[in-house]
Structure 1
Amino acid sequence: MSLRSFRFDPSLTREFIAFGGSLYAGGARRVPPFRREIIRQLSPDFYFYQRAGNDHRRFLAYRAGRVAGRIAAMVNAEIRDGDRLPVGLVGFYECVDDDGVAAELLEAAREWLRTEHGVRRIRGPMNFDFWHGYRFLTKGFDREPYYGEPDNPAYYPEQFELGGFAPLRAWNSIEINGREKLEALIAPWRKRHELLLERGYRFVPATRLDLRKEWPALHGLIDRSFDGFPDYTPIPFTEFKALLSGVGFALAADVSGFVYDQAGRAVSFGVIFRDLAGAVRAMNGRITPLGALRFLSRLRKRRRFNFFAAGSLPEEEARGTGVGRAGFFAMIDESLRRGYSDFIFAQMPKDQPIQAFFRRLKIEPQREYTLYEREA
């Protein structure tokens, strides 16, 4: 076996990208990422590579002359440990089911991070930051995947653990099918919603907004809402727009939106996506005329929705208005009114307070995701 390391070498980058597709060839459940998005993220002009203090190195492993694995070692200058020292990251990980190949890749990444940047801790999988791909799926491999879900072979977590990594944080997803449980879930927040309406708060769906004009407000609101979240880092507005443009086709604008306070200030938001896993799978990672036809042919075959993200301004939370719960009620209540009753509440931290409401209804998580860490 041999290893090659590089940064932007065009030929090796093509091999790096191609292996991510060939490894999953024929996988019936796979929802492949769009190839052009991967190319964008690995191109020299991607925003991550322009920021002072950021660095990366890519590695390809070869077995019998063919690519058998890949990994990228990264330093994001804004992700630091408790002593304010940079934390190393490993991402874009793909590997055959061979623990020896995995060990060589992980060790090469560790050695580069330790010797070139002196990091003391390494986390992964994480592609650059909180905003792009991170975490492994660790439970729920038998479930139908949804668009945007971490997707990996079941042996990846074990390869990381054999490489010295241990679980750092965990998230889960909960799927609910049917009106009855959704109505029971939101029932405790109905009065809070009514109270805020009486106080002059407004719950405005995205269909009533010029979203392109609202993007700066949403960018700022998300930035403030997630400030302090583990490993959260802000991204430039240009990259935020690029990410939104890439998923805008899936936005359920009729049930996503903002909450405005009495002064007309956006204080909370919620984002729900239509789960287009089947339609995106049909495109096989490529945006072509044929792929578009396949996408459209499957677009209406599944009416499952993904409650993707929500947040509120910290000062609003500190006031105890309950705007987050009221906004959650408004979104699910409007969804039920429109006949949407199949939901995935996606990638929630296990220690998030809303988990208690699912437990109250005896609804157990069906999927789990894990971020790992090891000493360098």
Structure 2
Amino acid sequence: MSTAALRVVPVQTSGDLRRFVDLPWRLYAGDPCWVPPLKKQVRGALDKKHPFYADGAADREIFLAWRGTRVAGRIAAITNRAHNAYHNDKWGFFGFFECEDDPEAAAALVEAAAAWVKARGCDTLVGPMSPSTNYEAGLLVHGFDTPPSVMMTYNPPRYAELLEAMGLVKAKDLFAYASPVHPKSLERLEKFADRTRRREPDLFIRSVNLKEFSNEVQIIREIYNRAWEKNWGFIPVSEAEFAWLAKDLKPLVDPPLLRIGFIANEPAGFLLAIPDANPALAALNGSMANPIRLLRAMLIGRRRVGLRLITMGVKPPASDHLLRCPSAARVLT
């Protein structure tokens, strides 16, 4: 670790914002499991014009840790007023955390984030949230030997140690499950789905209609906000923010993989799976501006290597098995 003086300062210039966004490319150099994000999307999530921050619902400050003339780490401090109003608490959040193997720099970054949210009335610091549970959330603590699926977090093993050394403790376990698809499993699932459809004649499930995408998004948003209302960390997603999220996901949407369920013609549940775009994303190396990388990514993207089940939900009082099983069968067959 360098002995150069350490300082943590807010990002105030376009040059420092570029350094903030670009830092992971140096920290993860040579790591075969890291998938570079699109820099445009990172900047978008930090831009206060993003609907996440609209109407004072949230605010943020981003910091760089400097060791002399070298950037050693970064962090975002986030206040989410919508979260605190919904859950009646005083949480502040941190996200976009990246750091060299430098405990002093990591501590200084967390302290800066904690001080910033405390000054705005928060009594607890929670993270990583980049910037909320509707985006990348959590810290990877197991599974460092495989690349993440699309929209899944990834970080070096040392991050848990750096953050726990600051006194941070686990708030919640977040699990990701990987499973191969076996033909016999699909047969059993389809049989169960058929029985469910016969037992529930008012149940109707269809694929999303991309020609009516805006209307479909509103249907899914209404289901999502009802289905997830009691989940840990959830806050209702505004119409503008949900539209923003949907716009980002639309290029990855394959209609048979986005299913909406109705009971007596009333929206009741949905399931969204998307092809795992991370192999193609890795080829882009953070930008779609390079035509050679773009062509390579398009060729890689034609080879479907797996699916990621992004989210699903069933509105109360519909039971989970009523819609999940038929939807999953239709997606996978």
What TM-score, normalized to structure 2?
0.89
Q: Corresponding residue for 1:161?
A: 164
1: CA distance, partners of 2:99 / 2:299 = 33
1: CA distance, partners of 2:313 / 2:87 = 28
Q: Corresponding residue for 2:270?
A: 269
2:219 aligned to which of 217, 220, 237: 217
The residue type paired with residue 50 of structure 2 is F
8 A Cα contact 1:205 1:257, kept in partner? yes
- 1:27 offset after TM fit, Å? 2.7
8 A Cα contact 1:70 1:105, kept in partner? yes
Q: Corresponding residue for 1:118?
A: 121
User: CA 1:83–1:129 in structure 2 vs 1: closer, same or farther (change >3 Å)?
Assistant: closer
1: CA distance, partners of 2:177 / 2:184 = 12
Q: 2:286 is paired with a residue of what secondary structure?
A: coil
Q: Corresponding residue for 1:347?
A: none
8 A Cα contact 1:147 1:276, kept in partner? yes
Q: Corresponding residue for 1:95?
A: 99
* 1:189-204 map, 5 Å: 189-190=192-193, 193-197=196-200, 199-204=201-206
User: CA 1:81–1:123 in structure 2 vs 1: closer, same or farther (change >3 Å)?
Assistant: farther
Q: Corresponding residue for 2:284?
A: 283
Unaligned runs of 5+ in 1: 338-376
- 1:47 offset after TM fit, Å? 2.6
Structure 1 runs, 4 residues or longer, greater than 4 Å off: none
User: CA 1:188–1:160 in structure 2 vs 1: closer, same or farther (change >3 Å)?
Assistant: farther
The number of residues matched between the two structures is 328
Q: 1:137 is paired with a residue of what secondary structure?
A: coil
2: CA distance, partners of 1:82 / 1:279 = 38
2: CA distance, partners of 1:221 / 1:333 = 20
The residue type paired with residue 332 of structure 1 is A
Q: 1:138 is paired with a residue of what secondary structure?
A: coil
User: CA 1:131–1:207 in structure 2 vs 1: closer, same or farther (change >3 Å)?
Assistant: same
Q: Could you tell me the percent identity over the aligned residues?
A: 23
User: CA 1:91–1:188 in structure 2 vs 1: closer, same or farther (change >3 Å)?
Assistant: farther
Unaligned runs of 5+ in 2: none
Q: 1:97 is paired with a residue of what secondary structure?
A: coil
Q: 1:146 is paired with a residue of what secondary structure?
A: coil
8 A Cα contact 1:75 1:86, kept in partner? no
The residue type paired with residue 31 of structure 1 is V
8 A Cα contact 2:221 2:237, kept in partner? no
Q: Larger strand proportion, structure 1 or 2?
A: 1
Indicate the larger mover: 132-141 or 9-18: 9-18
User: CA 1:128–1:303 in structure 2 vs 1: closer, same or farther (change >3 Å)?
Assistant: closer
Q: Corresponding residue for 1:361?
A: none
1: CA distance, partners of 2:90 / 2:212 = 39
Q: Corresponding residue for 2:75?
A: 71
What is the root-mean-square deviation in Å for CA atoms of aligned residues? 2.5
Q: Corresponding residue for 2:49?
A: 45
User: CA 1:188–1:158 in structure 2 vs 1: closer, same or farther (change >3 Å)?
Assistant: farther
Q: Corresponding residue for 1:25?
A: 29
What per-residue deviation string (whole Å, max 9, x for no partner) do you get for residues 256-307 of structure 1?
2101111x11110000111121111111121223332111110133431112
8 A Cα contact 1:207 1:254, kept in partner? no
Q: Corresponding residue for 1:329?
A: 325
Q: Corresponding residue for 1:296?
A: 298
8 A Cα contact 1:135 1:150, kept in partner? yes
What per-residue deviation string (whole Å, max 9, x for no partner) do you get for residues 117-176 of structure 1?
232211000123221221011111112421111111111111111111111111212222
8 A Cα contact 2:91 2:124, kept in partner? yes
User: CA 1:244–1:227 in structure 2 vs 1: closer, same or farther (change >3 Å)?
Assistant: same
What per-residue deviation string (whole Å, max 9, x for no partner) do you get for residues 73-105 of structure 1?
111112239982420101110001121211111
1: CA distance, partners of 2:55 / 2:327 = 37
1: CA distance, partners of 2:253 / 2:172 = 28
8 A Cα contact 1:76 1:86, kept in partner? no
8 A Cα contact 1:3 1:59, kept in partner? no
What per-residue deviation string (whole Å, max 9, x for no partner) do you get for residues 202-234 of structure 1?
110125873232111111211111112121122
8 A Cα contact 2:197 2:203, kept in partner? no
What TM-score, normalized to structure 1?
0.80
2: CA distance, partners of 1:265 / 1:64 = 61
1: CA distance, partners of 2:196 / 2:286 = 41
8 A Cα contact 1:69 1:93, kept in partner? yes
Q: 1:183 is paired with a residue of what secondary structure?
A: helix
1: CA distance, partners of 2:68 / 2:312 = 48
